[in-house]
Amino acid sequence: MGIYFTSLCLFLIILNFSIYVVLLLASPTLILNLIHANQIHSLKHPHVSRIEEASLAHLDYLQAKASGDIIAHLHPNIPTSFLVNISIGNPPIMQLLNMDTGSDLTWLQCTPCTNCLPQSIPFFDPSRSYTYRNEFDSCRTTKYSMPSLRFNAKTKFCEYSMKYMDGTWSRGTLVKETLTFNTIYGEFSSASLPNVAFGCGYDNYGEPQYVTGVLGLGYGRLSLLHRFGKKFSCCFGSLYDLSYPHNVLVIGDDGTDILGDTTPLEIENGLYYIGIEAISLGGIILPIDPWVFKRNYETGSRGAIIDTGTTLTYLMECYNGDIERDLVESGFPIVTFHFSDGAELSLDTKSVFTQMDIPGVFCLTVTPSTSGNLSIIGALAQQNYNVGYDLKAKKVSFENIDCGILFDY
C-alpha cells in the first residue's frame, strides 16, 4: 500500500464499485502521481515570453512575501508546472490543483460564483456535499499575511482574499471539507482526509486557467503539510517529457525519502531558504562573492529560495565570462550549485537551456534576478532530482535519481 498509519490511526476501507478509499485520521503518508500541466494544456513547449512572464510574477510574489512589504501572490496558471489530482467533498468532485511550495493556502473555485474563471472540469458546489463546513478557528490574520482573512459578522463566514501580481485575484470563504487523493497504486486506490481547511473562491478574476486552484505546500499555518507531519519530497523527470510516468509527490513522515546530501533549511514567512556557497561551471568555481546569496534579515532581501512554482532560476549575481569560450568551446559544461554542508545540485544542458516551440530556438533557463535581489532555484533546475524536505530537522536533500526506482510501481 502507498498509505502508512501510526499506531493510533483508525482507518476505514469502503468497497464501492471496486474503488478502495482509506480514511486518514492521524499522521498518514501519501504517495501521489504528479500530472504535467502541459498534458492538460496541450502546449508541449510554452513560448518563452509566457514562461518568463509567469516566472517573473512568481519572483515578485516571493520577494513580496519575503520582505512583508506588500500583499501579493503568483498567478496559478503557470507553464511547465505539476498538478495534483484530488477530489473534494462527498460525493467527491475531481479537481486539478497546481503544486506550489511557495504558497500556504490550498484553494479552488466554487459555485455559485460572483465571478469564476472558465475551467474544463466541474466546479465544486458546496451545497451538494454533506461534509462541507465553515472554518472559524483559523480566521485570524496579520497585517501582511497571505491570504488576508477577516470574519464577516453579518454572514458569519471567515472570508479570505488573495491578490496576484498580474492583477488577478481570488476571494471567498475559509471552509473545511474532505479531500480524497489518488495514490500511485492504480486508479482504484485513493485516500481521504477529513476536515481540511481551504479557500472556496466565489469571486475570481484573471486569465482563463486550466487548473482549478492551488495546492499549498508552504509552511504557513494553513498549509496542508501540517496534517501529515514534518516531511515531504517531490521527484520529477524532464519538465518537457510528457510521457514520463514517475513524477511523484510524497507527503508524510514515514514515507518521505530524504536521500543524498543535505543542506540546512531556513523557513521564513512560509518560504524555504537554502544557502548557496558557490557556483561552478565544468568543475571550476566561478568568481562570484557568496555574500550576494546571503540573506539580509533586516530588509528581507537577498537570500536563495527553493521553489516548485517558479519555472526558471533567478540569480542575484551574473558571471562575467565569455559565452563562446566558457560554454560553446567547452561543450556546454555542467553548472553546479554548491550549498552549505556540501550538498550539490547539478544542472545538465537540458536544465540550463530549454527548447521553445519555434524551430531552432532555445533559451537560457537561468536569468538575473530583478526583484529585490532574491535568488530562486526553480523547477527546471530540479529536474531528475528527488528533493526532500525535513521541516523538523530544518534540512533539504538532493539526490540525482530516476524517480521510477523510488517505488515498486
Contact of 191 with 22, CB cutoff 8 Å:
yes
Which grid coordinates are listed for 87?
477530489
Q: Residue 261 has what pLDDT?
A: 92
Domain boundaries, the chain: 20-251, 261-403
Q: Report phi then psi at 226, rounded to 5.
A: -65, -15
Q: Residue 395 has what pLDDT?
A: 95
CATH architecture of 261-403: Beta Barrel (2.40)
The β-bridge relationship of strands 366-368 and 313-315 is: parallel
Say if residue 276's pLDDT is above 90.
yes
Among 357, 356, 377, 361, smallest CA distance to 312 is for 377
Amino acid at the residue 184: I
Please determine whether the domains at 20-251 and 261-403 fall in the same fold group of CATH: yes
Q: Which residue did the predictor score with more confidence, 189 or 349?
A: 349
Among 322, 307, 323, 284, smallest CA distance to 369 is for 307
Confidence of residue 15 (pLDDT cuts 50, 70, 90): very low
Say if residue 45's pLDDT is above 70.
no
Which homologous superfamily is 20-251 in? Acid Proteases (2.40.70.10)
Task: Summarize pLDDT for 164-186 with one digit per residue, the tens.
Answer: 555 668 899 999 999 998 876 54
Instruction: Give the pLDDT mean for 96-116.
Output: 87
Confidence of residue 270 (pLDDT cuts 50, 70, 90): confident
